[in-house]
Chains A and B, each alone.
Chain A
Amino acid sequence: MAKAKILIVDDDLDLIEGTKAILESQDYEVFSAVNKIEGIDQIKSNRPDLIILDVRMTTSQEGFEMNLELRENPDYKDIPVLMQTGIEVMASNNTIASMIREMRKDSNFKDNKVLLCRNITDGSTGVDYLSEEGGSIFLPVDGFLSKPVDSEFLISEVSRFINK
């Protein structure tokens, strides 16, 4: 059986390098991209089983924008996405909801980039943010990774989405 494919989209090449090593040790095939355009190219050519997506790359919301584009594309909307952020996340038993609430308080998102969490009827969670144009956009998110990501936590999160 072919190896499961994971795409990492992050503008920090060193971080990609380490994450890649960790994931490859678990027998995943890992690709990487440093921005949205490269990321979408990679998805087209490699069709990953999971995407690990950084939020802030060239622009502060690039990860969200990319995720949104994927959700609107019928070919890619079913690929699970783990959002990875350097934004401060509370300890204790965090739900995704509370993480997003924390992100809303981050001064980087505070003013025009408000994030909201919504428990949609099927129980899944997502991000509601104000785009640069001022419109409110809802985005389903499968999971969050908070930087720096512990290797064991990374492996366990990834395995939630990929059945080997």
Chain B
Amino acid sequence: MKLIIQDQRTVKRNYWLIKLRWITIGGLAIAIVLSYILKFDVLFFGLLLVLGSLVVHNLIFLLLLKRGISSQKNNLIPYIHKIIFYQIVIDLFLLTILIHFLGGFVTPLLLFYTFHIVLASILLSRKISYLIAFIEVILLVTLAILEYYNIIPYHTIGLFDYSTLNIKFFLSILLIFTITSFALVYLVSDIALKLKKHEKLLYNTNKKLERANSELERKDCIKDEYVLRVTHDIKGHLAAIQTNLSVLHKNIAGPLDEKQKKFVSIAYNRTFKLTNFVTDLLRVTNMRLNNKTEKENFIFNDIIDNVIETIGQNANDKNIEIILSLNNNVKGYGNKFSITEGISNLILNSIKYTPKDGIITVYAKNMQQYAEITIEDNGIGIPENEINNIFDDFYRGSNAKSKKIEGTGLGLSLVWQIIEQNNGKIWVESKENKGSKFIFSIPSSE
């Protein structure tokens, strides 16, 4: 079964108490053996009785605690507080008997009572702790009276002087003891309360933060799902529009006159662009929604060759030369498919923003832990103050816009997304009118 945090803490504390008692039992056992070896004049029967009782007592409460954890699901905390209270009362009682066997009211062993007071103040409420202190005083008074009036016999162990024992001495010890006990309860429970308060505050703050965080994540997810849904539907409509327009545009439904052709062309081209835009948006959103990607080892050289083969024509169309400067066997680890897409997008991007007869250079370097890929062009570049925005969704460089170069503003954010998902880094160095250099690194192995 699962316990909630507060229950867990309470249970842990009782286990702690039981552990402390085992230590006490061990200590007492050693003391008995030592006093036997050193031939102290003590009543061994009495000490063994206390020792045995302590063992039985500890075992019984261990059992009660375990039973409580499995049966008291709703009232676990009050239940444990109750058994802790009984444990401490019985501890006090057994200590009183021990004190009786070890010299009675006058032994300094009386100080051991303070342990119980401190423990009660830490583990239980303040009221109950005062009650424990009160019980302790009563036990002490009872012991003193019983011994003083010889109702039960002294067990002197020969260490203490009983000649000074009189009513004044008795009362002064009792008074000091009572004050000490109650003051201890006051002080310790005060500290314990403050601690508890802080713990609770911290716990609540953590809870609130967690809630706020998961709420944010949920909203972000809803937003993305929504975008996906909407773009998917938009795409359906666009597909129908584009296909039907192409019937006109390609003169399938018969020839159009110049004027008709002009307007159909505009409509067809705009639909085409809108479709590209929606497609990019779908890709970015999909990428964001799907964090799980299958990763594998691959060689960058293969990917780059592959990309160049596919998009080489785009460069040829603008008479742009693509130079490859690749180390041998540049290893990478990631989703080969999306990285191919990323490199393809970066090179297409360079082709787009590089004027005719330009040069694009692709570098692939084998670094120690990672591979570094650079795509450098001598195109229009990025204005210095815009470099930080270049990977944002929908962001387009002002010079690209003013030169009327078409784009969705999503290409680079897709690349960013891809590199990020493959545990890589991407950055850009660029000078306006000189060219841009996109550099990314990808781990070279798992």
Mark A residues whose CB is within 8 Å of B: 12, 14-15, 17-19, 21-22, 25, 86, 88, 90-93, 98, 101-102, 105-108, 110, 147-151
Contact = CB atoms under 8 A, between A and B. Distances in A.
Contacts of B241: 14
B interface, over-half SS: helix
B393 to A, nearest CB: 17
Interface stretch (B101-109, B122-130, B305-313): B305-313
B236 A86 contact: yes
A150 B279 contact: no
Contacts of B13: none
B244 A18 contact: yes
Interface stretch (B170-178, B196-204, B246-254, B360-368): B246-254
Nearest to B307: A92
Interface of B: 225, 228, 232, 235-236, 238-247, 250, 252-253, 275, 279, 282-283, 286, 289-290, 293, 306-307, 309-311, 337, 340-341, 344
A18 B243 contact: yes
B246 A22 contact: yes
B239 A15 contact: yes
Nearest to A150: B246
Contact of B243 (A22, A25, A88, A110): A22
B293 to A, nearest CB: 8
4 closest A-B pairs by CB: A18-B243, A148-B239, A18-B244, A14-B240
A90 B337 contact: yes
Contacts of A107: 225, 228, 286, 289-290
Nearest to A90: B341
Given A106-B286, A147-B239, A93 B306 contact: yes
Contacts of B286: 88, 105-107
Nearest to B311: A92
Contacts of A91: 310, 341, 344
B290 A18 contact: no
A25 B289 contact: no
A93 B309 contact: yes
B249 to A, nearest CB: 8
Contacts of B225: 107
Given A12-B236, A14-B244, A88 B309 contact: no
